[in-house]
Each structure stands twice: as structure tokens, then as C-alpha cells.
Structure 1
Amino acid sequence: MSLRLFVRSFSELCITVGALIILFVLYMLFWTGVKAAGATEGEIDTLRSRWAQGAVFVPTPAPASDSGPGPAPAPGPVPAAPAYRDGKPFAMMYIPRFGKGWEWPVLENTAVRTLQKGLGHYAGTARLGETGNFAVAGHRRTYGDPFKDFPRLRPGDAVVLTDGTTWFTYRIGKRPYRTVPGDTAVIDPVPRKSGFDGPGRYLTLTTCEPEWGSSHRLIVWAHLDATQPVTDGRPAAFHS
């Protein structure tokens, strides 16, 4: 009798554990995607609303004063761009290799909560389009799977970003590189294994490896290839 009770209890426990596992898998595969879709759309709407209102920093030199005859005074210093706001969106990223509908907001920092709403800019790395290394992280799986197709990236592929006033087209230099977590050299101003030589305007993308794990990281590096005002329309990289 006690053996029968043990077998029945063990069977019920297995069923309960199995149900919990199924629920967890459904949560990871489905519900995180639903949450990410809503959060991501909210961040995109925030950006587009801000840009529509013209709330984008455009540096302009201070006007020279009218001092009459004689040489004009030197232009005043260009004001520094405001810092990216922690946890807030400031740019949109497009990777044509991933399809026409692939677009994700880029937010400041790589905290867990931030990466649930979009891609995260590594705080302390270069600003978009500036000299140095503009480094960005994103989920491979869960929360919308933004970098699900990361291994498909190839040399020459375009990564296009905009801050609302300018299009920045970066070109990937090498196939994805596999490394271990904590290798901060991959986001150095001139990453050692990127193939780039000397200072430049670089982009680093990072994500988890393997697809459903995090024992390693996949990295790609790119260099700034072209810029143009958003008023000129989308860059040619979208059509190549």
C-alpha cells in the first residue's frame, strides 16, 4: 500500500514538474515576445514623437557679434551634445540582412530591464557616428529575438542607424567572432581582434552564444561608411 502511494505521489510530482516546465517554455518563447513587442513599440513611438517635434540636438556655432569694421571675432565654441539619458531611447537601428521589417530602438545602458525594451548602448563607449567604438548589445532569443539571425551577418553587410537628423551607415568587416563573457576588449575604442588599425568610427554588436544559452558571446565589428541627412531620404544601403 505504501509503495502504491509512493508511486502515485511520484507520478503526480512528475506531472506537476512537467507542467511547470511547459509553462516556463511558453513564457520564454511567447510571453516575453509579447511583452517586448509592446515595450519596443512604446520606445519607437517615443522617439518618433520626439523627432516630429524637432527635439533633436543639432550643434551650431555661437553667432559672431557685430563689432563694426575690422576682423570678425572667432566663432564661439560649439556646445557639447547632451548625454544620452540612462534607460531612454536615442536612435533606431536597421539591418537590411535581417529583412525589411527589422527595426529596433537603441536605448542607453545594457541593464536587464533596458534590453527587454530594445537594444542597449554600452555606457561609456562612443556616441553614434563619433570617433571611437559605438557598442550595442541585444538579446539573441527571448524579448523579441532581435539578434536571432546574428550568425547570418557577413562582411560588407550594412548596419544603418538614425538619431532623427542623420543616417549613419556602418559596414561589417568580418563574420561574427565568438568570445567569452566578460571580454571587455571587444568594445575598446579600437578592438584588438576587429581587424581595424588605429582610431576610427567603429560599431560593435554583441549577443549571446549559443542561441539558447549565454556561455559565450557573438561579436561583429563595423566601420562608418557613410552619413547623410534624413531629409535626403533613406540611404542606398536599404536597397542593396
Structure 2
Amino acid sequence: MSVRLIVRTFSELCITVGTVIVLFVVYVLFWTGVKADSAAAGQIDQLRNQWSQGTVAAPVPEHTTTPKPAPTRAPATAPAPAPAPAPKAYRDGRPFALMYVPRFGKGWDWPVLEGTEVGTLKKGLGHYASTAALGESGNFSVAGHRRTYGDPFKDFPKLRPGDAVVLTDGTTWFTYRIDNRPYRTVPSDVGVIDPVPDKAGFDGPGRYLTLTTCEPEWGSSHRLIVWAHLDATQPVTDGKPQALHS
């Protein structure tokens, strides 16, 4: 084999490898964002359509009590009363809320879906199914991509104490206030989404929010965490909360 043929073959191989790398970078930086933006917009449209029809996704409440019926003299053959239908829970992979973070810009709004599976996070933010429901006692915890798939949490390191995180489920606005600068930890530190996270500085049980994303920006060896507490609620009929006007 001549030296010229070797050089030409090697050059063609380098061009092929380079083309593949460029295409991969375009896919990661551009195409996943296009797909995510389209998917998130579809989820938002779905939510708003449901809300316009008066349909709101409701979680199973923390405590469900059924009043005891008054004693009766019904005959022994009377049929037992039918149990009341169970309240609807968030449906896996389906949207149930919208999140706004003013620190990330006025145009920043993302749907929150139930679950944190890979496919779910390609369409929006994901609610850790084992954590509290929106606005309820406990720790409502949400994950999102730092980069790729729309980069929803790209500016996560800019979050500061006092920043607002506003969510709505179609009937109520929930305004949470961040309590800490982003905290860096490892993926195995699952205690960050406990009902009362040890490292959050909270005094005891309350209505909390945890946001999580990947760290470093283009890696996943660590996680960035912020914790927040529920600061205010108001019906959507009262208009947008002050945090979205400031």
C-alpha cells in the first residue's frame, strides 16, 4: 500500500469522524432543544385546555376522613352503601402544573409533569412522585435538565435567597420563596427531597419546595439543589401574584 493511499484513507476517516462529531453536537445543542420546546408547548396547551374546561389534576390528599354514618335500623338485608369515589391522583407522565421563575426571565414558563423518567423530562420538569403534592405539607420536589432538552434550568446557579418560584394548578397560584443559594451534592444524596431536608435549615414540618438539576453544566456527576418555603397562595381568579409583576 502506497504512502499516498494511506494518507488519503486516513484523511477520509478523519473527515468522517469529524462530520459525525459535528452532527452529534448539532443534535445535542440544537435539535433536542427544538423537540423539547415543541413538547413543552404541547403540554402547556394541554393543561390550559383542561383548565378552560374546568378539569384540574388533583393529588390524593394527605389525610382523607370519612364521616361515620348515623346509626340506623335498616334491615340486615339492606345493601351496603357504595364507597365514595377516590380522588384523582397525578397521572404518571402527565402535566398538572405550570412553573414560573422570574429570575430566569419573563418568558420562562415550563410545565410540571408527574414522574422523573427520561421520557418525562424531555417534555418538561418532573415531579418526584414520592414527594408532597403542590402546596401541601411536606416537600414538593421537582427535577429539570440543566442542559439539552430545552435547557430549562440552565441559569440555576443564578438563583438567590428570596427569589420567587411561582406555580399554578389552574385554580390556585402558589408562591414559594427560595431560602438558600444552590447547594452542590451527589446524586446518591436522596435526603435533599425528604419532607424536612436536614441541610435545608428548616426548623420542622412545613410546606416546602425542592428544585434539583445536574452539575456541572454539561455533566451529571453532581447535583445542584435549592430549597424554598411556601410564602403565599391566591385563587387564579384574583389575577397573577405580585411576584410575576415585579
Identity %: 78
Which amino acid in the other structure matches residue 36 of structure 1?
A
The separation in 1 between residues aligned to 2:87 and 2:136, in whole angstroms, is 11
Residue of structure 2 in register with 1:209 after alignment: 215
Q: Note if contact 1:90-1:163 (Cα within 8 Å) is conserved in structure 2.
A: yes
Greater Cα shift, 219-228 or 177-186:
177-186
Residue of structure 1 in register with 2:22 after alignment: 22
- Give the 5 Å matches for 1:228-239: 228-239=234-245
The separation in 1 between residues aligned to 2:137 and 2:180, in whole angstroms, is 20
Aligned match of 2:153 in 143, 147, 151? 147
The separation in 2 between residues aligned to 1:208 and 1:191, in whole angstroms, is 19
Matched, 1:192 2:198: yes
TM-score by length of 1: 0.90
Show structure 1 runs of 5+ residues with no match: 66-77
- Give the 5 Å matches for 1:109-188: 109-188=115-194
Greater Cα shift, 48-57 or 131-140:
48-57
Compared with structure 1, are the counterparts of its residues 89 and 101 closer, same or farther at alpha carbon in structure 2 (3 Å cutoff)? same
Which amino acid in the other structure matches residue 184 of structure 2?
R
The separation in 2 between residues aligned to 1:93 and 1:166, in whole angstroms, is 12
Q: Note if contact 1:204-1:219 (Cα within 8 Å) is conserved in structure 2.
A: yes
Shift of 1:3: 2.8
Deviation string for 1:188-213 (max 9, x for gaps)?
Answer: 11111111121110000001111111
Q: Note if contact 2:136-2:207 (Cα within 8 Å) is conserved in structure 1.
A: yes
The separation in 1 between residues aligned to 2:172 and 2:245, in whole angstroms, is 18
How many residues matched? 226
- Give the 5 Å matches for 1:74-89: 81-89=87-95
Which amino acid in the other structure matches residue 31 of structure 2?
W
Compared with structure 1, are the counterparts of its residues 135 and 154 closer, same or farther at alpha carbon in structure 2 (3 Å cutoff)? same
- Give the 5 Å matches for 1:7-18: 7-18=7-18
